């Protein structure tokens, strides 16, 4: 292992000492300790800024202790602090002390999705009249492919993370939230503000499938899991909130 990698390992693991070639110089050990503390403090604050609701749910002491363990296992891969923490939800899933807050990992996923939607490319304009004509044509509709806007993000959770998030924004009374209730949501930024659009379980499956295959196949897959699903309401929601960026008639390449 080269000295650079040894230095990086020691920087993120407080149990490791400074590389011998550097430690031999007077004062380097103390300077390194200060530098390591500053790096860890900056990364901890970056995580707190990215996951403010998670911090509120578990409290500052728990969050910072958890962040310390995470930082020791996940060094940054980007020079931008705003990019740090994308693997935190998976870390939380496997972090035993977080088991007492079973919705914490999905809350972290929701906060990441919200940020991704906020910073996504601006929405594309859609010819809604042409799309409506295709949707009304039985010969065209099954092969129609739809592409959602760059900001579109979807999350399905066995926990009420959307309601909990809204409660922490002051939009709901947290006393009325049942955390054990499953929720699905589509995040979208049609203008300057990120919208959280609630979905039922069938609608969430349908939208997920629309990103992978033509409308007819997406509907068939959804009906295999939710036999009473009718797509009209979900398609109307996508059109009403300008969620569709492009469409490709049957035979066209997406």
- Split at pLDDT 50, 70, 90, the class of 254 is low
The CA distance from 87 to 139, in Å, is 44
Report the chain's mean pLDDT, rounded to a whole number: 89
For the stretch 42-88, pLDDT in tens is 999 999 999 999 999 999 999 999 999 999 888 888 888 888 999 99
- Tell me the Cα Rg of the chain: 23
- pLDDT for 20: 65
pTM: 0.87
Q: What is the pLDDT of residue 139?
A: 83
DSSP conformation letters of 64-130: HHHHHHHHHH---SSS-GGGTTTTHHHHHHT-GGGGGSTTHHHHHHHHHHHHHHHTSPPPPP--HHH
Cα–Cα distance for residue pair 119/123, rounded to 1 Å:
11
pLDDT at 87: 96
Smallest CA-to-CA distance from 154 within 204, 115, 120, 90 is with 204
Q: How far apart are CA 244 and CA 124, in angstroms?
A: 8
Q: Name the token pair of 162.
A: 């959307």
17 or 69, which is more confident: 69
């Amino acid at each position: 292992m080269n000295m650079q990698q040894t230095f990086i390992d020691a920087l993120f693991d407080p149990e490791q000492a400074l590389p011998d070639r550097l430690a031999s110089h007077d004062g380097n050990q103390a300077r390194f300790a200060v530098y390591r503390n500053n790096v860890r403090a900056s990364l901890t604050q970056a995580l707190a800024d990215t996951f403010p609701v998670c911090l509120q749910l578990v409290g500052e002491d728990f969050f910072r202790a958890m962040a310390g363990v995470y930082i020791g296992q996940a060094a940054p891969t980007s020079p931008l602090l705003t990019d740090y923490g994308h693997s935190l939800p998976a870390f939380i899933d496997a972090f035993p002390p977080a088991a007492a807050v079973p919705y914490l990992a999905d809350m972290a996923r929701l906060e990441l999705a919200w940020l991704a939607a906020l910073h996504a490319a601006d929405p594309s304009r859609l010819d809604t009249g042409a799309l409506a004509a295709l949707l009304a044509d039985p010969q065209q509709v099954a092969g129609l492919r739809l592409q959602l806007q760059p900001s579109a993000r979807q999350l399905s959770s066995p926990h009420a993370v959307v309601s909990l998030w809204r409660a922490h924004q002051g939009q709901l009374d947290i006393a009325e939230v049942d955390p054990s209730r499953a929720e699905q949501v589509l995040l979208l930024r049609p203008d300057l503000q990120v919208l959280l659009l609630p979905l039922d379980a069938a609608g969430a499956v349908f939208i997920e499938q629309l990103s992978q295959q033509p409308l007819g196949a997406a509907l068939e897959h959804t009906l295999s899991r939710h036999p009473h699903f009718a797509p009209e309401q979900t398609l109307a929601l996508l059109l009403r909130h300008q969620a569709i960026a492009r469409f490709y008639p049957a035979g066209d390449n997406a």
